[in-house]
Amino acid sequence: MPSKPNFQVPSAEPNGTRTLHRWPILTGANYRKVIACISSGELSGSGLEVINEFEKTVENWIGGGHVVSTNSGTTALMVALLTLGVGPEDVVLVPSYTWSATAFAATLIGAIPRFVDIDSDTYNLSTEAVAKAITPDVKAIIVVHMHGLSCEMDEITAIAREKGVPIIEDCAQAHGALYKKQYVGTLSDIGCFSMQKSKHFSAGDGGFLVTRNAALAQKARDICNFGLPTPKHNYHFEEGLREGYAVFRECEQIGGMFRLNPLSAALVIDQLEHLDQRIEWLQEAMKPLVAEAAQVPFLKITQPGSHQTHVWHKIRVGIDYGAVDHYGRSMADIRQGLRNTLARSGIPSTLWTAPILPLQKVFRPYAGTIDWTKTAGHLAIENSFIVFDEKYPLIAQDPSTMTAVVSKLRQVWSDYFASLE
Ligand SMILES: Cc1ncc(COP(=O)(O)O)c(C=O)c1O
């Protein structure tokens, strides 16, 4: 390891009068850990020290349970389904609005996603729609805490328990979000997280799952390691060879190479230390916009309940349909005009994964007989969009910049609607 590494931390770039930070914010500690990992020569395998350290760190942060690291959030979801015994032709309930990976986790193992409508205010699974969709052929439910807000877990859990159906939480966008004072990911049979670069906890790519059930954790760990029996600690391939190849090398179940890259673990471990603080800044900055949304013309923004915290991984802003009648213009026209105006003021936006999944080509065979263009989910996505930039997300900025940017959004939004009068 070089005694004085010359770190170039690529995190800040000027933008007008402010310096915007890129995400993730990397410090010398992150670089040093990556270099130490390279120097250790332990760049692949199971039970590596840096992987154990990563899993232990996440276990401490999330408040118990067993953490099994994976090489992506998609993998974590797929491994979770396999761990719960879901297989070909089994039906898995999946929200109609989520990133494709939630549904792909099912299709990749031959299971059948059944799409369930969402709530148009929270963009989360509609509890009533879950109750209707949960027939005897359903073998698992994947709830997605969309954009950083927990689903209504008590209600959904009650429905699932009654039918004996396990729940997987997709927490890819909700690291650090609380539901009744508990972190999401710990509210179900298995919680799955992504550490892709845009996520609040970012390894570039990577993921992990968490479960309170030691047997499920062991099964997931084995699946991630080619279906081999895999102790968490001190399993070294070479020692396995010395101690008895056959014992270690007999695959006992389906599996694959789903383990986290140790370099990614090294990059991300120390970032967890700052996560809750950054989320708090973000929540502070969002507070006035959320509290005063009713005073901003035609603005719809998710209002977290008193039992939840929103971690604002993505900030989806909606336009009230009242604007269509009020201005005699189409929603598409108003939305595009607003997005253009925001862009001219330095606030980028994206439609992000529209249309909803059952209307996307690859998922149409699973869409069933429902007219998805008439559903609450479709309408909610058609009248909304996501603000700010993945490369320079709000969470990466200083608290004063967070506040200023949110306040600017409000101002430009109000000015746009005033200009239509
Ligand atoms: C809701 C949701 N689920 C799953 C994933 C998949 O995670 P990954 O990209 O790490 O595979 C993502 C994001 O990428 C996501 O946003």
* The pLDDT of residue 4 is above 50: no
pLDDT of residue 46: 80
pLDDT of residue 3: 44
pLDDT of residue 45: 82
- Name the residue of 72, 92, 99, 313 to mutate for ligand 1: max ligand atoms within 8 A of Cβ: 99
- Name the residue of 69, 74, 147 to mutate for ligand 1: max ligand atoms within 8 A of Cβ: 74
> Mean pLDDT throughout 86-93?
98
Q: What is the pLDDT of residues 315-365, one digit of tens each?
A: 999 999 999 999 999 999 999 999 999 999 989 999 998 899 999 999 999
Q: How confident is the model at residue 246 (pLDDT cuts 50, 70, 90)?
A: very low
Whole-number Å distance between alpha carbons of 196 and 73: 8
Cβ atoms of 206 and 70 closer than 8 Å: yes
Residues with CB under 6 A from ligand 1: 72-74, 98-99, 101-102, 144, 170, 172-173, 194, 196, 207
Contacts of 344 (CB under 8 A, 6+ apart): none
Give the CA distances from residue 310 to residues 8, 122, 170, 287, 355, in Å, rounded to whole numbers and listed in that order. 33, 10, 15, 10, 24
Q: How confident is the model at residue 181 (pLDDT cuts 50, 70, 90)?
A: very high
Nearest Cα neighbor of 160 from 193, 120, 116 is 116
* The pLDDT of residue 107 is above 60: yes
Which residues lie across from 70 on neighbouring strands?
Answer: 207
Fill in the amino acid letter for 352: W
- Name the residue of 79, 146, 173, 313 to mutate for ligand 1: max ligand atoms within 8 A of Cβ: 173
pLDDT of residue 17: 60
Nearest Cα neighbor of 391 from 15, 7, 24 is 24
Q: What percent of the chain has pLDDT over 90?
A: 84
Q: What is the pLDDT of residues 126-135, one digit of tens each?
A: 999 999 999 9
**Which ligand 1 atom lies nearest to the CA of residue 144?**
1
Distance 195 CA to ligand 1 centre (A): 8
CA distance from start to end of the chain: 64
Question: Annotated catalytic, 199?
Answer: yes
Residue nearest atom 8 in ligand 1 by C-alpha distance: 73
Beta strands 12-15 and 18-21: pairing type? antiparallel
* The pLDDT of residue 10 is above 60: no
pLDDT of residue 232: 67
Distance 170 CA to ligand 1 centre (A): 8
Q: Which of 63-67, 227-231, 338-342 has the highest mean pLDDT?
A: 338-342
Distance 126 CA to ligand 1 centre (A): 20
Cβ atoms of 216 and 76 closer than 8 Å: no
**Which ligand 1 atom lies nearest to the CA of residue 74?**
11
Whole-number Å distance between alpha carbons of 1 and 290: 48
Q: What is the pLDDT of residues 380-409, one digit of tens each?
A: 999 999 999 888 899 999 999 999 999 999
Q: Which pair of structure tokens corresponds to residue 145?
A: 């805490």
Identified catalytic residue from 33, 199, 300, 314 = 199
Distance 73 CA to ligand 1 centre (A): 5
**Which ligand 1 atom lies nearest to the CA of residue 195?**
10
* The pLDDT of residue 179 is above 60: yes
Residue nearest atom 7 in ligand 1 by C-alpha distance: 73
> Mean pLDDT throughout 58-73?
96
Give the CA distances from residue 106 to residues 141, 209, 218, in Å, rounded to whole numbers and listed in that order. 10, 16, 21
Whole-number Å distance between alpha carbons of 34 and 53: 13
Distance 99 CA to ligand 1 centre (A): 6
Q: Which domains does the chain carry?
A: 28-272 (3.40.640.10), 274-420 (3.90.1150.10)
> Mean pLDDT throughout 367-383?
97
Distance 385 CA to ligand 1 centre (A): 18
